Amino acid sequence: MIKSVTGKVSFVLILAFSCFFALGIVTGLLGVAWPSIRATFTLPLDALVALLASSTLGFFLGSVLAGQLMLRSGVATTLMVTNLLAAAGLFGYVVSPGWWVMVALGILTGWASGTIDTGLNIYIAANHGVAVMNWMHACFGVGATVGPLLMTTILAAGLTWRIGYVVAALVHLTLGLLYLAARDRVAIKPIAVPPTSSTSVSQKPPKPIQTLKLPIVLLSVLLFLLYTGVESTTGQWTFTLFTESRSVSSYAAGVMTSLFWAMLTLGRIVLGATADRVGVERLLRLSMIGVMIAAILFIFKNVVIGFIAVALMGFSLSAIFPTLTADTPKRVGLRHAPNTIGLQTGSASVGFAILPGLAGILAQRLGLETLGPFLIAASFLMFLTNEFVVQVMKRNRASESGIIPNPLGD
């Protein structure tokens, strides 16, 4: 629970949660909208890679630079500008005359999303616990649940997919204006500074390249890439798999896609509240085992099993990203935490593009039924990477206790 929360902080948290809700809506729209976008611009199945790549480039840049931008401009100003730019990019989707205009705008929307995502992750990790982090990311799941249902309703009514992006743009525009109205009142330090003794020399914050040299950070970067890849591949391709390969109705497939994001949300609410009691290491291991089981179920073509696979995948994935993010200061130390969170979020954006893009290429050449084996391989790699992270953490902690020399970190 949040203790002793002032009205100002409560307002900041409401805006933070609302930003993640907006990010979720945009993410949830694309999976259902993609077949219609393809038809509008006469595109092949794997053309989605171009949009994912451009938005990933922008997201990565926004993620890496978010911490420094918030320190220089402040929390409210940064989030005001990025929400307004996100709205502009999404309105650009609405009026795009051609596919490559939409792809180019992906850089802008990606940069805004990356800055919002990373900036708020840094703030929550520094000032709140695992539960608050999970609740904020649960708001992303709420938005990502609403997104497919919204787009499914719009398309079922015979309307254009562009209307869905009008709604998303208006949400970001509203948030930008709220931050504009509150920018003089919201002045909360986004990054906690590690305490120093009176005799210690003040250290400058490390550069991202210095942080990236730590083996524990490299493994964490890979872990986030794989996690987001599995999540986005499931979210982006479930609708297409079940409609185009398994002859499921658009309505049922849209509900199935929303179910994935709904279970992602439910899991973050339920598991986030129990993370401290269960233990971070155990929670992550059990979650990743659940992801592997869900991936195996995707192989079966039965519709009921498909619903179970989607639901289990969403619930199992739910706590991984926010729990790892909230635990970052403990894994790498407070000094390296802001850079690490930015690098992790940036690598997650790369996973968001690369893995679904690769899945699309395989689907184009070998068929959509390659999605199941693809998810199995990616989830197994994620599990192994997490186990390596745990081992490096134990070595680092033992080294800090003076038990063994530490060849794996500073």
Q: Check residues 78 and 130 and name the one with the higher pLDDT.
A: 78
pLDDT at 334: 74
260-291 residue pLDDT tens: 888 988 888 887 777 777 888 888 999 999 99
- Number of domains into which the chain is organized: 1
Of the listed ranges 26-40, 124-138, 365-379, the one predicted with least confidence: 124-138
**pLDDT given for residue 104 in this prediction:** 95
Tell me what pLDDT residue 402 has: 53
Residue 67 lies in a domain: yes
Quick check: 379 pLDDT over 90?
yes
Residue 58's closest CA among 110, 1, 119, 116? 110
Work out the average pLDDT over 209-223.
Answer: 86
CA distance 348 to 114: 10
Residue 401 has pLDDT above 70, yes or no: no
Tokens matching residue 377: 């391989």
Percentage of residues in the chain with pLDDT exceeding 70? 88
Whether residue 279 is contained in a domain is answered as yes
Residue 183 has pLDDT above 80, yes or no: no
> Pick the residue with more confidence: 53 or 273?
53
4: left (phi over 0), alpha (psi -120 to 50) or beta: left
Nearest to 320 by CA among 367, 379, 363: 379
Amino acid symbol at 303: V
Q: Indicate if the alpha-carbon torsion angle 225, 276, 289, 390 is positive or negative.
A: positive
Residue 22 in domain:
yes
pLDDT digits (tens, 9 = 90+) for 103-144: 999 999 999 999 999 888 887 877 777 778 888 888 887 888
pLDDT bucket at 407, cuts 50 / 70 / 90: very low
Average pLDDT over the chain, rounded to an integer = 83
Q: What three-state secondary structure class fits 259?
A: helix
Domain boundaries, position 285: 9-189+207-396
pLDDT band at 194 (very low <50, low <70, confident <90, very high): very low
Q: Is the pLDDT of residue 385 over 50?
A: yes
Task: For residue 197, tell me if it sits in a domain.
Answer: no
Which of the four pLDDT bands, split at 50, 70 and 90, describes residue 18? very high
Question: What is the pLDDT at residue 374?
Answer: 94
Structural domain contains residue 129: yes
In a domain, 198, yes or no: no
Q: Does residue 401 fall inside a structural domain?
A: no
Give pLDDT, residue 187: 52
**Which CATH number goes with the domain that contains 340?**
1.20.1250.20
DSSP 8-state symbol, 242: I
Highest mean pLDDT among 58-67, 277-286, 315-324, 396-405: 315-324
Among 196-210, 259-273, 344-358, where is mean pLDDT lowest?
Answer: 196-210
Looking at residue 184, what is its pLDDT?
A: 64
Assess whether pLDDT exceeds 60 at residue 395: yes
> Burial, 402: exposed, middle or buried (Cβ in 10 Å; 0-12, 13-18, 19+)?
exposed
Query: pTM for the complete prediction?
Result: 0.72
Tell me the C-alpha distance between 238 and 254, whole Å: 9
Residue 400: what pLDDT?
Answer: 62
The pLDDT assigned to 405 comes to: 43
Let me know if residue 82 belongs to a domain: yes
Q: What is the DSSP letter of 196?
A: -
pLDDT number for residue 200: 42
Structure tokens at 346: 């940036």
Give residue 203's pLDDT: 59
The rounded distance, in Å, linking the Cα atoms of 410 and 400 is 10
